[in-house]
Each structure stands twice: as structure tokens, then as C-alpha cells.
Structure 1
Amino acid sequence: MTHRLRVAEVVAETPDAHSLIFTVPPTLAAEFAYRPGQYLTVMVPHNGGSVARCYSLSSSPHTDTDLKITVKRVRDGQASNWICDHVVAGETLELLPPAGEFTPASLDDDLLLLAGGSGITPGMGIIKSVLAHGSGRVTLVYANRDEQSVIFAAELAELAERHGDRLTVTHWLDSERGAPDATAFAALLKPKNRIDAYVCGPEPFVAVARDALQKAGVAPERVHVERFEVEQEKSMDATLEVEIDGQTHRLPWPAGSRMLDVIIGAGLNPPFSCRQGHCGACALRMLRGKVDLVNNEVLEQEDFDEGYILACQALARSDEVSVTYY
């Protein structure tokens, strides 16, 4: 169930990234309780309806009274540009409560964080929580295009100075070193190859980071990944017919939108959880039409043979698509 929360403040972190700070009324405090590294789902107006976008919380439940998400512009991104261009303090936005599994099991464990661009967002919540409420040590490797692109630069510097024995920050700037390289990254990570690693950023960064962690000898079960939701992919305008809750609905499906966003934007109540393609909660069955899945880490070939797909990852590849939740 969605709730409307008031935007208390908008902070320009960099020329391309804004933080939204939300005030949570006491009546919703329990529902909006969260763990460091989780995200909020924001309903953004689009073509007379809305699309759902997930943005990680950069606040910490252990240090911050309000909720904070940080949004970086994506080229041609419907949601990120609308938020950065139009949202001001005093407005209200429709949100789903916090969700996500990109969160450490214990704040007393030593952690390795690898962030690319706005992938630092969940990392900030984790870092602040560990330093304020745990005993673990954190090593952060943070990649950006240049110095002006570094989100939370001053806050990270202040935390590193105040907690020098527990927080180590290494900046990788493309302007100085070139694009991140798996072999060079591996050399930085090898001394920390026996602790859990948390990776967040755009897909090219995630691929390099995972390769570097493997080269550094980090066990696969210690690697935790949070992928960005891509706002625009090549696809086509379509009509989606969906059977849910005893009714059949025909919905316009704009090019570039995920099937799950279309269903939620129509005011329906589909099941979902991670929105990343690795939990299976949004699985449903195709009756006709074609889709592409952006990411899939849960469905096997036998599932596809039975017609199952993931609504959160599905893009239209035919002008008519019919699906059912039965």
C-alpha cells in the first residue's frame, strides 16, 4: 500500500544529483522503519498515470530522524529528470514502504563497499549505521567520472577524519585513472578478501567490480550486489492485457517501461519484492506476445517452458502482450 509523504527539504548534492528528505508522521513510523541499505519505491507521474522507481535510502535509521533518498539524473530518464526538475520542499510524493535485501546481517562485521556514481547511496546508509551503532570497520572504494561528480564528498571526508581507525575511503576518478579496471581494482581489494563485499552502481561498474572481487579471491557467497533500475531501454509501445484479482485489464504499455511499473501505475496490486530480478515474487505467466527480461537470476528453463516471466524485468517486444497471475 502506498502512502503520501511530505518532502521536507531538497538538497543539491552535485549538479546532477538531488537528495529528497521526507518527514514521516508518527502514525507511519512503524511502517517506514527500515534497515540500512534498503530503498523506497516512488510513484512518478507519467502520461496521465504513474511509473514506479526504486531509490536507495542514503539516510541511516541510527543517525537520521527523517528519510533521505538520493536521485541522480539519467539521460532520457523519465523519473530522475522529473524529480530533479520539479520536486521542491513542501510537495508530497506517493511512496511504498522500505524494502530490499542489500543490507548487512550485522553492523559489527567488517565490510567492503564498492560504489559507482550514485551507487554510493545505499552505502552511505550502511557506513553511517556501522560507525554509529556497530563495531565493524568499513573499506569503501568509490568510482566517479571526476571530482565534481562525487556525491557526499564532504560528508565522506568528515566521516573518514572522525573515524579514521574504522573507515577507509579510496576514490577512483576516471579523469585521473581512466575507467575502472578489474585487475587494478583487484589489487586494492585483495587485502580485504575475507570479508563481505557490497557492490552497487551501473551495470558496467558492477561487471568490473564482480570480476575484480573474483580476481582478489573473494568467495562468491560473500558478494552482495544491488543493481540500478534502468529507466530507459529499447522496446516498443504495446498494449498489456493482465488477469489479476478476478478481473482482466487492458493497459497502454509505453516503450521503455517495465511491465510491473505499468501494472502498479494502473492502480492494481501485483505481488513484488526485490524489483531486481532475483527473488521471483513478481513472477507471472505469459499467455501470448513477446517480452525481453533485462535481468533474471531466479527463473530456470523449465519455468520459461511453462510461460513464466518476471514482471519487474519485462519489456515489450510485441505490440500485444497478455499475462495472468492465475
Structure 2
Amino acid sequence: MDTESYVLDVVEVVEETADAHSIVLRVPDELAELFSYRPGQFLTVAVPSDQTGIVARCYSLSSAPGDEAGHQITVKRTPDGYASNWICDNLRAGDTLRVLPPSGIFSPKDLDADLLLFGAGSGITPVMSILKTALRRGSGRIVLFYANRDEASVIFRAELQALQEAHPDRFTLVHWLESVQGLPSQDQLARFASYFTSFTAFVCGPGPFMKAATSALKGLEFPRERRHQEKFVSLGGNPFGDVEEMRAAEATIAEADDHEDTDAPALGGPVALEVELDGEHYAFDDYDGDKPVLQFLEDKGVPAPFSCREGNCSACACVVLEGEVRMLHNDVLDEDDLADGIRLACQSLPLTEKLKITYNG
């Protein structure tokens, strides 16, 4: 992924519900390859702010790769959420939006697999992209459990019904309304998921819902490789700013006292770094380990993915195959992710003289 941001035309704004709008963006032909994406990925969006100039937010793509209409993100208002309210109140067809290319790892590796999808509220957004793509390109069965406050808050209601009618043999849709059934409990989610223990699960929604659904899957012994969740933390920094400005901010972060493992010793020597990215192999023997992996790769011209640079999203996630790192900050990876060797390159400093990482999943 390129590190540059791009201004895209807004071609349509769709009012999905009273609180949720879909924004359709036109990607010009010359940027088509750069903005190609996998189902479940997100865009990082720049929203103008009188106080800070720009606030950055990550919004999942609800469109499916290949959709003729364009790249679509869906934004739901949140209480006191400046960015979401600005987008819903101000964006119209003919406007423009500044974005970073697609990122994220919340995406199926096998579209032919049987999929168990859990979405709640606006958490349906990346799930919708996965659902449409799997129905279009895959062959497996798909089950969607979709929880909402009430019937009026169901995003994509008509589109989901149309998909169910078009694919009755492959797609099962289950609506859960808090106004009728109350909040879904872990036990209720576990009973539902118990019928689909051979499926690959994807979970997205508010924190309590994701915790309950993920705990239910763990209780049913869904293996880690078949259990995925998406998590966003509101971004505080500005990934759209000047590169030197961002690096100065990173240096300040590195010197702070309130990060994880700050007592870990500095390496104090060159690191042999190997990187696998998009089918390419890179090797360096002049990495001093004095800056995060992402920053070193950028200095070397490697197109490593990133978005927030703060440890608040999964855009820069990589897998450590050999060696060890310590992360300065992490608000998105859980214990299972860490056990699988997943790390955030924007926050990772090497602890060993040899380090090998992959972005290839």
C-alpha cells in the first residue's frame, strides 16, 4: 500500500437508516490497482476539524470487490462522535473525501469455506462485504446472526432480504432485535453457534457483543484459525500529516513512560531483518533497531501497509516468523493474536539480532 493519501469523489450518499449513511466513492482508473481490496478491509478517512485541522477515522468497506457502483463505506452516528456526525450531516454527492488506500486483516482466506458471521449494529459493515463477496465468488454455506436495537435500526435490511431470496440454498439470515428479545447473551450466542462448529467465524460489533460472541466461540472450542474479530479504537493522531511531523510524534511516543514492556533492554546493535510482503522478499542488515519496524521499512522505500501509526488499528499487522519484538503500544490485538505471533509494525522494536516478519498472512 502506498503511504500517500488521495482525494476521491463522492458519487452518492445513501441513507440506510436514520443514523447510518453509505458513502459511495469513485476511484479513478489510474488508482484502481492501488485501491483494490479484500472483503472486510477498511479505509482511513480524513474529516476536517476546526480544532485540530483533521481527525482520522477508520470505516469498513461495505461494498464487495468488483462492485460497479464504486467503493462504499457505511458510517453510523455515534453519541458525541464528531467524525460520524460530520459525515452524515455534511457529505453529499459531488463532494470529495480524503482517504488512505484499503487496509486490514479481517478477511477470509478461503471464500469457498462455510462462514458463520456475527454482526451487531454498524458491525454489519465489513461483514456485509464478506457476505456479498462469498456469495458471488465462493461456494460455501453462509449463516449471518445480525443483532440490532429495533427493526428501524437494521442497516441493509432490504439488501439482506434480497440476498437471502437470491441464495436460499446457501445463505441463512437470522435477525435479533433487542426491542423484542433483549440483548443476546453469551449462552444464547453459544447455543446458536453450536450448530455451526465446523464453520469459520467472523465477529464485528460493539465491544460487549464481540466479547460475548468471541467467548461463546472459544467455549465451543472454535480453533483460533477459524475465529476472527474486528476491532477499531478511535484514532487520536493524524496519519494524513507531513511525514516528518508524524515521525516526530512517534519519537515522542517512544520516549513516553506509559507503554508496554518499557523495561525491556534496547538491542544496541544491527538487526538482520527479512520481510515478506505481497509476494516480494526484502532483506536488510543495517537496521539499528532504534525505530519501529514500519518506520525503518518506509525509510528503505518498502511499501509496508499502515494507517493510524498509533497501535489503534490492524492495518500494519504482521506475523513474526523468527526473532522477537516489543510493542510500544497496542489497543487492537488480543491475547490470541499475540499468541499467533501477530504484531503491529508501527509499534514494534526488535529485541533480537535477527527478525523475520511476513505480511502475507
Give the TM bin, normalised by the shorter chain.
Answer: 0.7 to 0.9
Q: Is the 8 A contact 2:23 2:73 kept in 1?
A: yes
Q: Please state how far the C-alpha of 1:309 moved relative to its aligned partner.
A: 9.0
User: 2:25 is matched with which residue?
Assistant: 22
Q: Could you tell me the TM-score, scaled by structure 1's length?
A: 0.75
Letter in 2 for 1:213: L
Alignment partners' CA distance in 2, 1:39 and 1:167:
24
Alignment partners' CA distance in 1, 2:313 and 2:11:
32
* Match runs of 1:76-87 below 5 Å: 76-87=80-91
Is it true that 1:224 corresponds to 2:257 in the alignment? no
Q: Is the 8 A contact 1:202 1:228 kept in 2?
A: no
Is it true that 1:139 corresponds to 2:172 in the alignment? no
For 1:255-299, what per-residue CA distance to the aligned partner results, in whole angstroms no more than 9, with x for missing partners?
A: xxxxxxxxxxxxxx9986375456567x9997xxxxx86445489
Q: Is the 8 A contact 2:232 2:313 kept in 1?
A: no
Q: Is the 8 A contact 1:79 1:231 kept in 2?
A: no
Q: Please state how far the C-alpha of 1:10 moved relative to its aligned partner.
A: 0.3
Q: Is the 8 A contact 1:200 1:228 kept in 2?
A: no
Q: Please state how far the C-alpha of 1:243 moved relative to its aligned partner.
A: 10
Alignment partners' CA distance in 1, 2:191 and 2:306:
36
Alignment partners' CA distance in 2, 1:59 and 1:29:
15
Root mean square deviation of aligned Cα: 3.3
* Runs (5+) with no aligned partner, structure 2: 237-241, 254-297, 319-324, 339-344, 349-361
User: 1:183 is matched with which residue?
Assistant: 187
**Judging changes above 3 Å, is the alpha-carbon distance between structure 1 residues 50 and 201 closer, same or farther for their aligned structure 2 residues?**
same
User: 1:32 is matched with which residue?
Assistant: 35
**Judging changes above 3 Å, is the alpha-carbon distance between structure 1 residues 23 and 210 closer, same or farther for their aligned structure 2 residues?**
same
Q: Is the 8 A contact 2:103 2:305 kept in 1?
A: no
User: 2:197 is matched with which residue?
Assistant: 193
Q: Please state how far the C-alpha of 1:156 moved relative to its aligned partner.
A: 0.4
**Judging changes above 3 Å, is the alpha-carbon distance between structure 1 residues 229 and 222 closer, same or farther for their aligned structure 2 residues?**
same
Could you say what secondary structure the match of 1:27 adopts?
helix
User: 1:273 is matched with which residue?
Assistant: 306
For 1:78-123, what per-residue CA distance to the aligned partner results, in whole angstroms no more than 9, with x for missing partners?
A: 1101101111110011010111111111211111110111111111
Identity level (%): 46
Letter in 1 for 2:208: P
User: 1:59 is matched with which residue?
Assistant: 63
Letter in 2 for 1:273: F
Could you say what secondary structure the match of 1:227 adopts?
coil
* Runs (5+) with no aligned partner, structure 1: 233-241, 254-268, 287-291, 301-307, 312-326
**Judging changes above 3 Å, is the alpha-carbon distance between structure 1 residues 88 and 132 closer, same or farther for their aligned structure 2 residues?**
same
Could you say what secondary structure the match of 2:230 adopts?
strand
User: 1:121 is matched with which residue?
Assistant: 125
Is it true that 1:45 corresponds to 2:78 in the alignment? no
Alignment partners' CA distance in 1, 2:150 and 2:198:
30
Q: Could you tell me the TM-score, scaled by structure 2's length?
A: 0.68
Alignment partners' CA distance in 1, 2:246 and 2:186:
50
Q: Please state how far the C-alpha of 1:216 moved relative to its aligned partner.
A: 2.9
Is it true that 1:206 corresponds to 2:239 in the alignment? no
